[in-house]
C-alpha cells in the first residue's frame, strides 16, 4: 500500500500555500515525492472558483467585507479563516480510483467517519457536495486535477469566528447555511475532549488508511518556505 506524507503547517496565507501546492503537484506527477496531505489553517480569505460567478456570488454585498482570491479549483465561493482545518491532498490517484465523483465521495466518507469518531453524525446532502450536519454544511470540498494528481481540497469548520462564514452565500447556498461544529453546539467529543484542530486531525489520520487507501507517515512540521 502506498505511503502518505503528512505535512502539518501552522497558519499560512492561502496565496503562499496555493503556490506551494502547484509545485508539489508537479513533483508528484514526476514521482519525486509520495502522495501528500497538507494540514493548515489560513488567515481569513474568501476563495472564488469558477462556479462563484454563475451562482451570482460576486454580487453578494457581504463579500465586500472580506479579502478574496480567484482560484482554479472546482466549486464556487468558499470561506477560509481561524477555526477551520484545511486539508490539501496532493495525491496521484490510481487507475481504479480515477473518477472525480468517487474521489469526492471518498473524501466525504473520510470526514464523516472522523466526525463519527467524535460522536457527530455528518451526512451528504443533494443540495451540495461536502459534509452536512443538522441541515447545515460544515465541510466544503473543491479539487483541481492534473494528470490525475489532485490539488486544493477540503475545509472543515470546527470553531470559526461567529457570523463570518454564516454571513456568506457559500457555494450558492443561502447565507447562514454554512457554519461550524461549535455554532451547532458540538464543542466536545464523547470522551469530553475539546473538538479542536488537534482532535480532528487525530481522527482523520487514524482513518486515512481505511478511506484513502494509503498509509500515513509520521506528521512533520512544514511551512511553504520548505518547497523549492
CB 159 within 8 A of CB 179: no
C-alpha cell at 148: 490525475
Q: Is 139 a catalytic residue?
A: no
Q: Using CA atoms, how far apart are residues 203 and 93, in angstroms rounded to an integer?
A: 22
The region, left, alpha or beta by phi > 0 then psi within -120 to 50, assigned to residue 12 is beta
In the set 118, 139, 170, 171, the catalytic residue is 171
Which residue is listed with cell 451562482? 55
The region, left, alpha or beta by phi > 0 then psi within -120 to 50, assigned to residue 148 is left
Query: Parallel, antiparallel, or unpaired for β 215-216 and 35-41?
Result: unpaired
Residues known to be catalytic: 171
Amino acid at each position: 500500500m502506498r505511503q502518505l506524507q503528512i505535512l502539518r503547517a501552522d497558519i499560512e496565507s492561502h496565496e503562499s500555500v496555493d503556490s506551494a501546492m502547484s509545485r508539489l503537484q508537479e513533483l508528484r506527477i514526476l514521482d519525486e515525492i509520495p502522495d501528500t496531505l497538507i494540514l493548515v489553517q489560513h488567515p481569513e480569505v474568501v476563495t472564488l472558483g469558477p462556479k462563484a460567478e454563475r451562482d451570482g456570488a460576486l454580487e453578494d454585498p457581504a463579500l465586500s467585507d472580506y479579502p478574496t482570491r480567484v482560484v482554479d479549483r472546482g466549486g464556487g465561493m468558499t470561506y477560509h479563516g481561524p477555526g477551520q482545518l484545511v486539508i490539501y491532498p496532493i495525491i496521484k490517484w490510481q487507475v481504479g480510483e480515477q473518477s472525480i465523483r468517487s474521489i469526492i465521495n471518498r473524501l466525504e466518507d473520510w470526514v464523516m467517519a472522523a466526525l463519527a469518531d467524535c460522536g457527530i453524525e455528518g451526512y451528504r446532502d443533494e443540495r451540495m457536495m461536502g459534509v452536512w450536519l443538522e441541515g447545515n454544511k460544515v465541510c466544503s470540498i473543491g479539487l483541481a486535477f492534473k494528470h490525475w494528481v489532485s490539488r486544493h481540497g477540503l475545509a472543515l469548520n470546527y470553531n470559526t469566528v461567529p457570523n463570518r462564514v454564516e454571513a456568506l452565500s457559500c457555494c450558492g447556498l443561502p447565507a447562514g447555511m454554512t457554519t461550524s461544529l461549535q455554532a451547532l453546539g458540538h464543542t466536545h467529543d464523547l470522551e469530553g475532549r475539546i473538538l479542536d484542530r488537534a482532535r480532528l486531525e487525530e481522527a482523520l489520520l487514524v482513518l486515512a488508511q481505511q478511506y484513502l487507501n494509503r498509509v500515513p507517515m509520521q506528521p512533520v512540521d512544514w511551512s511553504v518556505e520548505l518547497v523549492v
